[in-house]
Structure 1
């Protein structure tokens, strides 16, 4: 069964988030995804507000740029959200846009090495382990969460390059593909692993038949969740999330 979600793009000002979140909750949308794009909005801060305003909506952050964030802080924030809003938090991590990482002095020479070290450490911390590691980029000495989780939160790894996607299959609990990915890339991932695949699909259309066919083609390629996103210039995000919810309500995604 393929679920259907929507993106709230950070190009909209933060004060617009509440009305979009409430529209998603009231219309029955399964999930709303947020982005931590530099230098727009904090993904964790926005997710915390969205979860607090709702009772059932699942909220994903995809992606958190790992060069920008200490892994212990990300583990603390993720565990805090999951303990307050159990079962509704989804976290994705990735390289971040390299030019942006360079602007803040966080660009690394081996993004793949960092992402591997970071994801493994993050999962271990969320699993309640006491972690000591001295890697090329990640260094922890006897770090453990004082408020661990009863069950670990799945950590998605996002990317597009084949090496990053191979890493996602190796260390991630799921994979996130952005809207530039073609269906062959989705099929390739699903043929090599069994974990969830979230695929962003960009569309501004409100043509129900067109979008339903678009979602069906991505689902048939193997996506476990199709997440529709509007362009950065969209002026009706509330209407868009209601439209996406109506698609899920009237058409089987299985």
Structure 2
């Protein structure tokens, strides 16, 4: 069985100053993707992505996820466009609701997170496509906004999702979905079907890419065999890409990277 695209994750339990060594280690292997988490109140996703892209030459850098209540969509589009122009074809931009309790802590919790994500994704996607955007939604309001430095081609845009309505929205509006929980095979099959239903209903061409995170204890024996078996299982259930990460208490991805490389 062919393996999905493989990646590792730099968990926010690791300090920012540890990032460069990880980026350079990943870039020296054939592991395809490095994913960064923007958890409140740890490292910022845009700052770490910019650094990771600058410190690497070939690996794709995914941001999972930018919580949409925290940034104006015009600012998010400006930042993502800049990253894409600096490192064409190596940016995967993830948008999501954010943890609602954290959004409440900073005074940004939306009454209707799904409405916000729909309006926000629509606006960001149009801006990255080089369009001039007018929006007068419940949350997103833009008046003739266009990027001066839109990328030649927009970065891959994915939505983080676990529940049915957000999964369907990912299929409708985004290039794919990021399953941010530790999703088992059955849940992955169900999620993929819902995302594809959303894509079909939108009338857009092509299949959405399904990316899933997978937590693995790096201390267990035969780590190489464990990762391969997990990757094959998730691929059979519909994953196009799997990003492995360690545990909260053992976040260093280097043992996983050594096993994958």
Secondary structure (helix, strand or coil) at the match of 1:242 reads helix
1:105 to 88, 104, 107: 107
Give how far 1:11 is off.
1.2
- The separation in 2 between residues aligned to 1:75 and 1:49, in whole angstroms, is 18
- The separation in 1 between residues aligned to 2:23 and 2:230, in whole angstroms, is 24
TM-score, scaled relative to structure 1: 0.93
2:232 to 216, 228, 253: 216
Which residue of the partner structure matches residue 229 of structure 1? 245
- The separation in 1 between residues aligned to 2:119 and 2:81, in whole angstroms, is 19
CA contact (8 A) 2:132 2:144 kept: yes
Which residue of the partner structure matches residue 196 of structure 1? 209
Unaligned runs of 5+ in 1: 247-254
Give how far 1:235 is off.
5.9
Give how far 1:57 is off.
0.9
Secondary structure (helix, strand or coil) at the match of 1:27 reads coil
Which residue of the partner structure matches residue 168 of structure 1? 170
- The separation in 2 between residues aligned to 1:240 and 1:217, in whole angstroms, is 17
Unaligned runs of 5+ in 2: 197-206
CA contact (8 A) 2:128 2:151 kept: yes
Residues 210 and 149 of structure 1: CA distance in aligned 2, closer, same or farther (over 3 Å): same
Tell me how many residue pairs correspond in the alignment: 245
1:9 to 11, 17, 31: 11
CA contact (8 A) 2:211 2:239 kept: yes
Secondary structure (helix, strand or coil) at the match of 1:133 reads strand
22-31 or 234-243, which moves further after superposition?
234-243
TM-score, scaled relative to structure 2: 0.90
- The separation in 1 between residues aligned to 2:231 and 2:216, in whole angstroms, is 10
